[in-house]
């Protein structure tokens, strides 16, 4: 297993609060760099998703339960376990009917897609302005 993946998994399983704080710090940096109401919405969605995943993982002793996991599915790591009647907060757990994603995962994906889309759009607009300025300079030069 890759070192970074193992470190990430260990941090998430053993200390979800620390991992959550690290993620919040990164998202705070995104807010500082890209000032946009839509980016704020994306960051808020991501924070909600992180919070939901951390809550269900912490409540279930460091593992993410999977509701409705087919018996043919083998979890990629011991972090995922099939939900039982003792599972706490099953609504926030990974769901087979959501493609083995949780509500928190969907919020994370939605927020991330929104942030990336806004940043790509800004880059595209900035490039169009730069190209227009370069073209203007070329057409207004004296021979």
What pLDDT is recorded for position 128?
82
Pairwise CA distance, residues 57 & 12, whole Å: 8
Burial group, residue 58, by CB count within 10 angstroms (0-12, 13-18, 19+): middle
| Model pTM score | 0.74
Q: Is the pLDDT of residue 47 over 80?
A: yes
With b for 16 or more beta-carbon neighbours within 10 A and e for fewer, the 14-28 pattern comes to: eebeebbeebeeebe
Pairwise CA distance, residues 42 & 113, whole Å: 8
Q: Sketch the domain layout of the chain as residue ranges.
A: 3-139
For residue range 7-37, list pLDDT tens digits in order: 766 666 666 666 677 777 777 777 777 778 8
CB 57 within 8 A of CB 16: yes
For residue range 89-135, list pLDDT tens digits in order: 999 999 999 998 999 999 999 999 998 899 889 888 888 877 777 76
């Amino acid at each position: 297993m890759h070192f970074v993946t193992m470190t990430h998994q260990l941090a998430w399983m053993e200390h979800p609060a620390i991992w959550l704080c690290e993620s919040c710090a990164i998202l705070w940096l995104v807010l500082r760099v890209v000032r946009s109401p839509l980016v704020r919405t994306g960051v808020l969605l991501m924070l909600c998703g992180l919070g939901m995943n951390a809550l269900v993982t912490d409540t279930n002793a460091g593992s993410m339960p999977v509701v409705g996991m087919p018996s043919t599915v083998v979890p990629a790591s011991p972090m995922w376990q099939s939900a039982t009647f003792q599972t706490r907060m099953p609504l926030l757990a990974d769901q087979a009917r959501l493609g083995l994603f949780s509500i928190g995962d969907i919020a994370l994906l939605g927020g991330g897609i929104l942030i990336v889309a806004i940043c790509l759009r800004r880059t595209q607009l900035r490039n169009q302005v730069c190209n227009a300025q370069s073209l203007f300079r070329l057409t207004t030069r004296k021979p």
